[in-house]
Structure 1
Amino acid sequence: MSSIFGTPDFDSPRLDGMSSFEYLNRSTREAAARIRCATGEWLSRYPASERDRLISRIRSYDDVEHYSAYFELILHEVLIQRGCRVEVELQLGTNERCPDFLVYPPNARRFVLEAVTASGISDEMRSKRRYLSEILRAIDEIPESKYSLFLRWKGFPDNNPSLKSLISKLRQWLECLEPNSADEKFEWQCPGLSLEVVAMPRSKPGTRLIGAKMPELTQVRAKYDIARRVRDKAGAYGDLSMPFVVAVNSLDTRADGSDFLDALLGSEAALPCELADGNFGYVSTRMPDGVFYGKGGPKNTRVSAVIGTCCLTPWHLAQSLKLIKHPNARHPLRRLPLRASTPLRSDDDRWRRAPAVAQLLGLTSSSPS
């Protein structure tokens, strides 16, 4: 097995701009050590032929790729813990492509499982966010103990800016700053980004220069990204002649189960109707704009079901898995070997209780830590 982690040498909280893998790899925290240990155990049960490729993705400094690899590893481990036999990256379907897993549950029909991560971020925006992270990390590493900085920004840098010029100007501003000058601001711009900095005197020395951040507010679009990821996979493998399940991990911290229901079954709506007593009221329904239903009726019927979860990472395993079946699937999923939560009704977002992923993994807490 390829080496996964190096020697831990970082004993501070995660810095701005530090990738998830870099922090996990370098952190001396006990929580990080336990995650590294669990990762090794999970990988030991992953097929050897595909192990090195997955390790390479886990080691990625791109957080989306890193979390995507961990999502696949966690799903594989949960299936193994539930007594399934799992084959990885087999050529299947009429399109002769390779989905993630072919799952053989005990006493149930085999099915294909594809794991996807819904980041809500385009490749271009991921680059811009990486540029911003590099700016924030450079600021956070300025050796300054007298002030704590409050940062506010609008937009994202279009390209990789000159950090040397920014840090030089910011340090000069901090050195010339008068105590209790709360009204003074440092302003800096580059193509696509406007940055504003306010310095507040520290009551005691600290290790981090950035004390608080206020990014530009963005619209919640989790359901659209979930829908896009499922649609992308719906016909990717052609006819598989067996149930096809898409597992989606939304990395949007504001996403919840209602986003999955809206994405798959259609947006919630209230239609006026005449009640039994002759008065008018409203009945809950869903619009024909979901992945499973459109104006022409059922669609994407090759998808038998979707397993959904939000922000599932090796650090956060307290979430349960949510299962939404396609009512008109070409190959219906009769049984799922995972103890997933299902909606009480299709027209609201109440869910039946299910165990956390940590429990499915046999852990005693919500993470390996």
Structure 2
Amino acid sequence: MDKTKKLFDEITRDYTGFRCYTEPKWNYLNRCARLECERIRNLLEQWFKNFPSKAQDDLRKRFQSKKDQHHLSAFFELYLHELLSKSGFSVEIHPVMRNKSTHPDFKVLKDGKPLFYLEAKVVSLSDEDISAKARENQVYKVLNRIKSPNSFIGVKVQGTPVTNPPGTKMRRFLECKLSNLDLNTIAKQSEQDGFEALPQWEWKHDDWQVIFFPIPKKLKAQAKLDVRPIGLQMYNPRLTIPHIGIKQAIQDKATKYGELDLPYIVAINIMKEFGGDDIDISNALFGEEQVALIFRRNELIGKQFRRKPNGAWYGPNGPQNKRVSAVLIAVGLTPWEIAKITPVLWHNPWANNPLPLRIWRFPQVILNKKSAQLRKKRGKKAWQILGLYPDWPE
């Protein structure tokens, strides 16, 4: 393959450590010499060969982006193309739509017969949260330059920084604290009383509160300077509402192409830091769960479980966004999780163009409108179709 037609650089690699806090995901994967990274690169290069040549330049540019959202978006498209191809479908990239200037990501066919359109979307943290996390990571990068041969540093975090914290000042503050420690005494205290006995040092910046504490290393690990000093990070829970992001992704795509002549699937990859499970997905599609308490006079006589009419597919006026036939949802799919995660297809029971169950080989979820119960239909695992093994790439 032409060098300009590859996802990764042809370079000598010798770095086997972890990804730096502020490092773009593509950059690390490109320079990492670990065997797992090599396996990932080899697999993705093979997938890239299979990707239509007319769309390779655009995909490669986004895949190599320093912005992780763009990188993961391109990866998701590459993954979906390969998954569909290995499932026996043929895939047309950016099909021309009649009387429209826009076009979905894929048109999927079987034996030359058009079956459905598919549009891909990655759901992640908001731009504000991503910026705050980037500011935190910049500090951790500075702190990991501290020379702390005999103890790790524990970090407890509350809140998020609104402006860039002074990483260099924090580093000097910690170096001063660490230099005055009696590690033997601290080690004995922590063995008896756990983390509670360790000294704690507080640092505040904006609404960001950080508590540092030393974690004595075992004797055999002491004096090793090639180990990152931050050994433990603890975060207070942050409020994320995954179903809102899922719902918004569907609504953004639902009317983008108007009425279509085929079923229409929206594929969504929910990033791990955003979270998401079957309950979140159900809330996003069919409305949030709620409990109605039934009283007779002042006596509670029963409970009734129902949903608010605020789902992507069911709103205040009943079924809506009926142009979307189904959503294909993966949670936390990255190049490292290719074999471990299998997307699940959730069917829209009110779709204008329903997608036939028989054409899909992977797990599916179907709503029985009469009983209001969700039924899961088993299917193939992604690793089986992709020719991998369950723990790949380890």
Superposed pair shares fold, TM > 0.5: yes
Is 1:189 the equivalent of 2:198? no
Counterpart CA distance in 1 for 2:375 and 2:178 is 52
Partner of residue 353, structure 1: 378
The 1:173/1:263 distance shift into structure 2, 3 A limit, reads same
Partner of residue 320, structure 2: 299
Letter in 2 for 1:23: Y
- Measured against aligned partners, the alpha-carbon deviations of 1:328-368 in whole angstroms (never above 9, x if no partner) come to 22222225744221236555566332222222212123434
Higher helix share: 2
For 1:238-249, list aligned pairs within 5 A: 238-249=258-269
Tell me the TM-score normalized by structure 2: 0.83
Is 1:96 the equivalent of 2:101? yes
Letter in 2 for 1:222: P
Counterpart CA distance in 1 for 2:348 and 2:366 is 15
- Measured against aligned partners, the alpha-carbon deviations of 1:291-322 in whole angstroms (never above 9, x if no partner) come to 11112111011111111111111211322221
Partner of residue 276, structure 1: none
The 1:202/1:305 distance shift into structure 2, 3 A limit, reads same
Counterpart CA distance in 2 for 1:367 and 1:4 is 20
Is 1:267 the equivalent of 2:282? no
Counterpart CA distance in 2 for 1:147 and 1:231 is 50
Partner of residue 32, structure 2: 27
Counterpart CA distance in 1 for 2:331 and 2:207 is 30
Give the C-alpha shift of residue 26 in structure 1: 2.2
Where 1:230 maps in the other structure, the secondary structure is helix
For 1:211-250, list aligned pairs within 5 A: 211-250=231-270
Larger Rg: 2
Q: Select which of 291, 307, 329 maps to 1:308.
A: 329
Counterpart CA distance in 1 for 2:374 and 2:131 is 35
Where 1:343 maps in the other structure, the secondary structure is strand
Partner of residue 279, structure 2: 258
The 1:281/1:340 distance shift into structure 2, 3 A limit, reads farther
Partner of residue 159, structure 2: 155
User: Displaced runs of 4+ in structure 1, greater than 6 A?
Assistant: none
Q: Is the 8 A contact 2:346 2:366 kept in 1?
A: no
Counterpart CA distance in 1 for 2:313 and 2:40 is 37
Partner of residue 193, structure 2: none
Counterpart CA distance in 2 for 1:116 and 1:310 is 12
Partner of residue 172, structure 1: 176
Counterpart CA distance in 2 for 1:93 and 1:163 is 55
Is 1:69 the equivalent of 2:69? no
For 1:135-154, list aligned pairs within 5 A: 135-154=139-158
Is 1:36 the equivalent of 2:54? no
CA RMSD of aligned residues (A): 2.7
Counterpart CA distance in 2 for 1:143 and 1:350 is 56
Partner of residue 326, structure 1: 348
Q: Is the 8 A contact 1:114 1:245 kept in 2?
A: yes
Q: Is the 8 A contact 2:268 2:327 kept in 1?
A: yes
Give the C-alpha shift of residue 281 in structure 1: 5.9
- Measured against aligned partners, the alpha-carbon deviations of 1:254-308 in whole angstroms (never above 9, x if no partner) come to 42223222211222345679xxxxxx76665433221111121110111111111
Partner of residue 387, structure 2: 362
Partner of residue 190, structure 2: none
Counterpart CA distance in 2 for 1:66 and 1:76 is 16
Partner of residue 201, structure 1: 216
Letter in 2 for 1:185: Q
Counterpart CA distance in 1 for 2:280 and 2:59 is 29
Letter in 1 for 2:280: D
Letter in 1 for 2:146: I
Larger RCO (CA under 8 A, 6+ residues apart): 1
Partner of residue 191, structure 2: none
Counterpart CA distance in 2 for 1:4 and 1:336 is 38
Where 2:121 maps in the other structure, the secondary structure is strand
Deviates more, 1:308-317 or 1:158-167: 158-167
Is 1:4 the equivalent of 2:8? yes
Give the C-alpha shift of residue 160 in structure 1: 3.0
Q: How many residues align?
A: 364
Letter in 1 for 2:55: E
Q: Is the 8 A contact 1:258 1:349 kept in 2?
A: no
Tell me the TM-score normalized by structure 1: 0.89
The 1:20/1:256 distance shift into structure 2, 3 A limit, reads same
Give the C-alpha shift of residue 109 in structure 1: 3.7
Percent identity of equivalent pairs:
30
- Measured against aligned partners, the alpha-carbon deviations of 1:152-202 in whole angstroms (never above 9, x if no partner) come to 112222233333332233223222333345543333232342221111221
Partner of residue 189, structure 2: none
Where 2:327 maps in the other structure, the secondary structure is strand
Letter in 1 for 2:82: E
Where 1:255 maps in the other structure, the secondary structure is coil
